Chain A
Amino acid sequence: MGDQVSARIIREEDLARWTEELRQDYAVIGPVTAGVATSFRPIENPSELDWNYTSTVIPPSKAVYSPRQTLCRFLKAGRGYRIEEVLPSREKCVLLGVHPCDLHGLLVLERTLLGETKDAYYAAARASVLVIGLNCQSVGDNCFCASMGTGPFFGYWMGQGPPQGCDVLLTDLGDRFLVETFGEEGEQLIAKVESSPPTPQDIGEKLRREAAAKEWFRKTLDTRDLPALMRRNTYHPTWRITGEGRCLSCTNCTMVCPTCFCYDTRDRAELDLSVIERIREWDSCQDERFAEVHGGNFRSTREARLRQFVCHKLSYWVEQYGCFGCVGCGRCMTWCPTAIDLTEIAAEIRADEERK
């Protein structure tokens, strides 16, 4: 991804043909709606794609960061075992139609997995993925990306420079799409379809639509001084009331979060012990055993675990990585069986402090 940005216009009716062209060279993974739920899945026909989806259950970042990954194999050799590295090998793939919140989800997740220490497995998987973003004009009830600076359109983020992590960015302009490409690989993707240069009217229409989308948000999160506010209120009563009174420790919030990275490892053995695989699987700080050690558990209560999730996203993350761990996608509250809402928790804490 370079600095080179260029913009083109493609007609809506050419979109299907373009997708089909992409399918010749790449596995195309995009939003497909079945019943009430949309999910990112490999498509076989461009007509499966839902260009107007609001959100998906599992975020697209988790199409790159697999729920289960073999780390290595131990192969019986004499009296011991020989260690064999296992890295994911994937066909080249295009992640198509990723909303800005989820583009940021990828960037945030990668501050962990491709940061100080590179996770070799994620890096190998990520290397085979090209990302085509889609500016969002379908704001849902739980969306608050506008508060987090991560949407609804993809642009500058927290003052940290031009868009990254996306090769092509699409904006639906009604009967046509504005296509912005970032770098050479993006250029190659768009070269597969007939396009024309954008007019000043096209750029104006994008800005008009962005302004309109921003008007649709009902949910907000006030991020002023938020990390410090959360740190000051480690013992606020809401942790007990909400954690013990409503949280079921079901772990849904962490499974659907685009930035959650925690994993557990376990060994899986063939019955004759000839091959033993060490695998990792997503884990959750909401699981009771997550912080258990011999002789104790540092987060044995739901109160402590809920505080860990919310404070990590809205406070600790900023100290760890210089950005929030929340991109405002709203999935944690959408899929919470008791509708626990971290924006409500933060607002309640802020209101209590302001009353004092």
Chain B
Amino acid sequence: MNVQLPRDAVVTAITEHMPDTRTFRLRLQDGEGKLAFRPGQFNMVGLPGFGEAPFTFSSPPQADGSFEHTIRAVGRLTKGLFKLHVGEVLHVRGPFGSAWPLDQVKGRDLLIVAGGMGMVPLRPLLLEAFMKRPDYGKIVILFGARTPGELIYGEEFDSWRGQPETALLLTVDEVPPGEEWKAHTGVVTGLFPDMDIDPDNAAVLTCGPEIMMRFVARGLLLRGFSPARMYVSLERRMRCGTGHCGHCQLGPKFVCKDGPVFRYEELSGLPDTML
């Protein structure tokens, strides 16, 4: 099989979170079956003439074969994707990469720390954990963004909070004048004193800007969380998804196939990362 060959996927729904951030619900064209993927993995998503880039799944696999990608329009390809309407086709290759360790952290409390678009790969993990709620202990979610409007998936917050033994703490860097904001302001590590979770039994799963993950990891280490149960999801430039194009290399790791989800310990001491 030629893994560099894209497949057609049809857009079945588009949700707009912000003018520059949308979720595309997709399904492989008829007859091509379902994508078997796990939360944390990614697809190469592309359009003819615009190229391809890696996008993490933002939903767990759906019964009808659907999957979602939440995408922010920042470059040529993503702006091209934003011109698509429901019923039109884009291309996917995948799934690629490692997944969140949902099985290994069974029985543990989950501390989920997200920064901005870093919530995208964590959402399918959350939704899958909610589906198997008795498998996990407490779930504490810390979510920070630049402004209240950039806390994506806000329409789902109430249902997340409604789950048993689940807490969602929010923070923003700044509140635009005139907007009402009752939760925390400041960086996401500022929420640490407010969280109620036992470091000895917790697994940490985090995604956000690398500089954020650096302070999250180091801050939590100081609070007694174990580096062996701390997982990060990284972003790198990628062209293939299979460890051939070389762009995503971080020391001896290929982020596309050894990651994007890594145990924090695996990456310690490597150059060219802010972790």
Contacts and interface: CB of A to CB of B under 8 A. Distances in A.
Contacts of B240: 263, 265
B257 to A, nearest CB: 7
Contacts of A156: none
A276 interface: yes
A261 interface: yes
A316 B271 contact: no
Interface in A229-264: 231, 234-235, 261-264
B49 interface: yes
Interface in A296-328: 298-299, 304, 307-308, 311-312, 315-316, 319-320
Contact of B49 (A263, A267, A280): A267
Contacts of A267: 48-51
Contact of A72 (B1, B5, B269): B5
A85 B2 contact: yes
Contacts of B50: 267
Given A85-B2, A117-B244, A74 B48 contact: yes
Interface string B206-247: 000100000000000000000000000001110110111111
Contacts of A81: 48
B91 interface: yes
Contacts of B5: 71-72, 83, 85
Contacts of A117: 3, 242-244, 257
Given A74-B48, A292-B237, A83 B247 contact: no
For chain A, which range describes its interface: under 10, 10 to 19, 20 to 34, or 35 or more residues? 35 or more
A262 B74 contact: no
Contact of B243 (A87, A116, A120): A116
A112 B247 contact: no
Interface in B232-274: 235-237, 239-240, 242-247, 249-252, 254, 257, 269-273
B51 A320 contact: no
B16 interface: no
A259 B175 CA distance: 52
B89 A80 contact: yes
Contacts of A261: 244, 246
Contacts of A283: 239, 245-247
A119 B48 contact: no
Interface in A270-303: 273, 276, 278, 280, 283, 285, 290-295, 298-299
B95 interface: no
A82 to B, nearest CB: 9
Contacts of A112: 243-244
Given A72-B5, A120-B4, A291-B236, A264 B272 contact: no
Given A265-B239, A267-B49, A113 B252 contact: no
B2 A120 contact: yes
B68 interface: no
Q: Which of B6, B7, B271 has the most CB of A within 10 A?
A: B271
A308 B245 contact: no
B249 A312 contact: yes
Contacts of A295: 74, 209
Nearest to B87: A79
A72 B4 contact: yes
Contact of B247 (A74, A80, A290, A316): A290
A83 B235 CA distance: 28
Interface string A79-93: 111010101000000
A320 B4 CA distance: 21
A285 B119 CA distance: 30
Contacts of B52: 265
B91 A83 contact: yes
A316 B254 CA distance: 10
10 contacts: A80-B89, A83-B91, A120-B2, A120-B3, A120-B4, A121-B4, A263-B245, A293-B236, A298-B250, A304-B271
The 7 closest A-B pairs by CB, nearest first: A262-B246, A74-B48, A319-B252, A120-B2, A316-B252, A117-B242, A276-B48
Given A119-B4, A263-B240, A293-B237, 7 more contacts: A80-B89, A83-B6, A85-B2, A119-B244, A234-B270, A262-B247, A283-B245
Interface of A: 71-72, 74, 79-81, 83, 85, 87, 112-113, 116-117, 119-121, 231, 234-235, 261-267, 269, 273, 276, 278, 280, 283, 285, 290-295, 298-299, 304, 307-308, 311-312, 315-316, 319-320
